[in-house]
Chains A and B, each alone.
Chain A
Amino acid sequence: MFSFTKEQKIIDISGIHLGGQPGVNPTVLFGGFFFKGNADFNNAKKQLEEMYKLSKKTGNPAIPDFFIKKDELMVKIIDFIVENVPKNYPFSIDIIDPKLKIEILKILYDKKLLARTIYNSIHVGITDEEQDSLKKYTPEAVILVAFNPKDQSPDGKIEVLESGANLTSKGLLEIAKDIRIKKILVDTAAMAPGDNSGAAIAAIPVIKEEYGLPTGCAIHNVVEKSKWLHEFEIARKSVDASSNVNIPLFGGDFAIFGPVENINLVFPIIAWRDILISEYAENYFGIKPADFHPRRKLF
């Protein structure tokens, strides 16, 4: 049981509140939409609706995270967002290729979607062109991935935010500040098992205490890469979903929980965890949960 001495910043992205002391706001859940080959947008629509239903029921805000790997699907995915993500609801765009990132920013601008966009992500691989593009077409919020290839510990993650670990000329926080991004989320960069994977969780309270920024991660990636779990088929899904409870338990604010298919497991588990945290946070610290918190809805 803990609260942070550093003042915690709560950011509002289209009505979704991210950040704060443990027990105030519910954990925000980013559900991944991955499109391959002949993308099944009808199924994606159903999954999106289902995710919003669960979000309404539990009180845990849902943000669809659209993973874009190929440029031929880019416009189709944006059209899908325009048609299916309710007006004023936020979404995140998850792209690795810097060229695609630059292209998508222009499209998001043209479609007037930047005010709802969470840019996933800025990291040490950012190019000058990408920075220029972000200055021109600035999204509402960004996720900074605190991956430091030289040091996977919480200190290493702070180093990359602070100074860029001599990989970039300045730290990721300063890069975001120069772009004039006001709403910053920090992803603590979950590593593969055996590569200090637990540090992604350990870093959550460290980063929140240092910067007071909304912090989370995609801890389920570690489960995906835990090959030994493949022998335990029934348990594997539960472990995958429940790995996310580590995030609120360590004071985190959001979970990028992987494929949207997992919503039925993830939302109730996180809502349950958030209720427990809220109970002890109120009992010990007098922290009241937000009006839309699962504890107010389900308990």
Chain B
Amino acid sequence: MQNVKTSVIGSYPVKVNNLELMKDYFDQKKSSWNKYIDKAVNNQIKAGIDIISDGQTRDPFVNIFTRKLKGCRIRGRTEVIDKVRYIEPITVNDQRYVKKIIPKNKEIVGLITGPYTLTKSCVDLFYNNKKELAFDFAKALNHEAKNLEKYVNLISIDEPFYSVEMPEYAKELIQTVFKNVTCDKRLHVCGDVSKIIPKLLEMPVQILSHEFKASPHLFDKFKEYDVSKNICLGSVRSDKTTIETVDEITKHINCGIDIFGEKISQISPDCGLRHQARNIAYQKLKNLVIAGEKIYG
């Protein structure tokens, strides 16, 4: 697969040993999280994935960011209680660690949860103005993106809320996050994006990523447009435990080729695999890789 690479969207399931964390606490030792990153990364490598993520093992994708942004506090949901500001790197140390442990022929995708998704996922007790909050998230995430690009090959913004509700300033938010960021950029929007395709095609990213496996009708919808962006083709479901066969995935990718041709630059699961059992997540990735090899060599 010279030009088309296998990738992941973000999260990967790992089982955290709570008792071990408690034993470290009772011994007053600082716990290391590296072993959980190792598990996620090694599984992706073993499955043959080309573009690896850190697995987002620490927290769900919203909390990873809101935990470290000033102005947020986590209760049942994240509450915004003050002006949102970037005070320290959020995922950079984990990505730096991933860079150390992967073989040189592998690439890394840095993951950023989008500002609109953060806005919609939080309880706003401070701004009372969704747009202002979203742009403060975007400015904070821009700092993270600039720090992150030193260690990754690609940065992917995850904005699932765009498929539900796309604000008129959606493009501007993505521009803000990626201001002065020079590495490759991907926008992942899962869900049914059929109604927002024209807006997605205007986004300041090279790659669009969508869940084509769960929403195959997207093929027909995209057919109506002149797709100038590269495509990351969701090819196995992240919400179902059934493991897609290699033949099924091959057939699906071929459907994608009929629509997008050489614009397909990545094949991946539809979304993060956090909610899958580890063996299922692994097998899904492995079959994806085999299917990709069958098609692209």
Give the interface residue-count category, chain B.
Answer: 20 to 34
Is there contact, CB below 8 Å, between A125 and B73?
Answer: no
Determine the chain A residues whose CB is within 8 A of the CB of B24 once the complex forms: 149
Is there contact, CB below 8 Å, between B59 and A166?
Answer: yes
Please tell me which stretch of B28-36, B110-118, B175-183 contacts chain A, meaning at least 4 of its Cβ atoms lie within 8 angstroms of it: B28-36
B19 at the interface (CB under 8 A from A): yes
Within 8 A of A (CB), among B32-84: 58-60, 63, 67, 73-76
Partner of B22, one of A125, A156, A158, A225: A125
A163 at the interface (CB under 8 A from B): yes
Is there contact, CB below 8 Å, between A195 and B75?
Answer: no
Is there contact, CB below 8 Å, between B30 and A159?
Answer: no
A264 at the interface (CB under 8 A from B): no
Determine the chain B residues whose CB is within 8 A of the CB of A229 once the complex forms: none
6 additional A-B pairs beyond A165-B74, A166-B63, beta carbons within 8 Å, are A123-B22, A125-B21, A149-B25, A159-B75, A167-B21, A168-B18
Determine the chain A residues whose CB is within 8 A of the CB of B59 once the complex forms: 150, 166
Most buried by B among A145, A149, A162, A189: A149
Within 8 A of B (CB), among A207-226: 221, 224-225
Q: How far is the CA of A84 from the CA of B193 in the complex (A)?
A: 71
Q: Tally of A-B residue pairs with Cβ under 8 A?
A: 59
Is there contact, CB below 8 Å, between B74 and A155?
Answer: yes
Determine the chain B residues whose CB is within 8 A of the CB of A127 once the complex forms: 19
Q: How far is the CA of A96 from the CA of B21 in the complex (A)?
A: 12
Determine the chain A residues whose CB is within 8 A of the CB of B23 once the complex forms: 96, 125
Determine the chain B residues whose CB is within 8 A of the CB of A224 once the complex forms: 28
Determine the chain A residues whose CB is within 8 A of the CB of B26 once the complex forms: 96
20 A-B contact pairs sorted by A residue (CB < 8 Å): A98-B19, A123-B22, A125-B21, A125-B23, A126-B18, A147-B25, A149-B24, A150-B58, A150-B67, A151-B67, A158-B75, A159-B75, A162-B76, A166-B59, A166-B60, A167-B16, A167-B21, A191-B25, A224-B28, A225-B28
Is there contact, CB below 8 Å, between B74 and A151?
Answer: yes
- Nearest residue, chain A, Cβ from B20: A125
A179-199 CB mask vs B (1 if < 8 Å, else 0) is 000000000010110010000
- Nearest residue, chain A, Cβ from B75: A162
